[in-house]
Amino acid sequence: MSSARRRPRREGRSPASAGKPGLAARQAAQRLLGAIVDARTPMDALTDDTHGHPHYLALDARDRSLVRAILMAALRHRGDLEALVARFTERPLPEGAASLRAIIHVALAQILFLDVPNHSATDLAVAAAQADPRNRRFAGLVNALCRRAIREAEAIRTEIETQPVRAPQWFADRLEAVYGADRARAIEAAHRREAPIDLTLKDRSPANVAARAQTLDAWALPTGSLRLRHGTEIAALPGFDEGAFWVQDAAAAIPARLFGEMSGRHVADLCAAPGGKTAQLAALGAKVTAVDQSANRLKRLRANLDRLGLSEACETVAASLFDFTPDRPFDAVLLDAPCSSTGTVRRHPDVPWTKSDADIVKLAGLQARMLARAATLVAPGGLLVFANCSLDPREGEDVARAFAAAQDRFTVDAVSAAELPGLEDCLTAEGFVRTTPADLPAPAGEIAAGGVDGFFAARFRRTV
């Protein structure tokens, strides 16, 4: 099963809890799950430690961690839980019973996928139902569903692992239409698994990569990233305080590497926060202008650069791309454009439940406008890389092809197989890069997880 089951058993009383210990955390999880699925509110916004949901902010750090673990499990397996409830009940849940469904899903997620005592998950689910006038009469049903799930837990988990993923219909349909049935199933299966933690090293010399891999007990990926084999607190790793590395998915590290030699060149990193690509460019010797419209996100970016010792190579500009007017064009421009984030479902299982097909169409239009604007910032002979973490070609390949067809000053600068070690099969006919969570499987005998985020990247060169 997913490594998401590895969670501490202890449950603390939060300041907001007026009843049983642990009840406030479960009620918060239920409220947040409803906000994600019913109001399509991103999980990251609800669980932000400064501006998150009030019921989440009222919890202590330990209960916040538990709420996040519950939400990840409940969202990753939401389709499985829906099917399970339908099978276990004689008649469907009442129309509009969103809060009841949330109580049940939170309880079943703990019983089936988290390391939480079964009696605690059951008792607190029943207590949550009894505390809500709308659901008080269903407390017995909640209790019965939990107890049956406990009795049949192993069989249920085995069935889930061997059955196709029950993704939201719009998302499942789109994956199959783009990638075909077999490839779509492989991507969806990857979405059930917790994503590994990858590190980008500031010093990517072969000797340092080998030394850090040994020190951190990490898998040195062919792409140049390190993948941790064991979950751990990142800040406690040797080398963190000295700024030797930062967390960045192996696929997300690809776009900045497509620029090649960067020493002394002026580069604009547009939509730069949280700053992984900015750090990559600075570590390669570039003079970087990091642009983002969020001043708060740029503040965190600067803090990351300070830890890495890369601040002197970077300036930050809080501005929309459409309002950014530099004094001169850049030798290179990186646009990691806003997108549906469907390539990050392993890390953000709320995405298929908070986005829609209409969102993809809207975002693709925005990306096309942003790419056209970014092109005006590139000096003659300079490079432009367009990237995003969507699995949908409408946000990737289609935008890049339309840009290339409409431009007479830019040509596609095809990425070669030598530039993409380990992911050579992720090159398209045009020389674009297209990764999915089903790519880069772990080699035999390697205990680290395989896969990378879904990512798209295209490189263009200005000719005149």
Catalytically annotated residues: 389
Write out the two tokens for 100. Answer: 């009841």
CB atoms within 10 A of CB 173: 13
The total number of residues shown for the chain amounts to 464
Q: Please list, in sequence order, all residues whose beta carbon lies within 8 angstroms of the beta carbon of residue 304, skipping any fewer than 6 positions away.
A: 246, 274, 275, 279
Separation of alpha carbons 192 and 303, rounded Å:
33
> Is the Cβ–Cβ distance between 1 and 76 less than 8 Å?
no
> Is the Cβ–Cβ distance between 22 and 98 less than 8 Å?
no
Write out the two tokens for 289. Answer: 């202008």
Write out the two tokens for 74. Answer: 């409940």
Of 202, 334, 199, the residue nearest 272 (C-alpha): 334
User: CA gyration radius for the chain?
Assistant: 23
Amino acid at 53: H
Separation of alpha carbons 74 and 80, rounded Å:
9
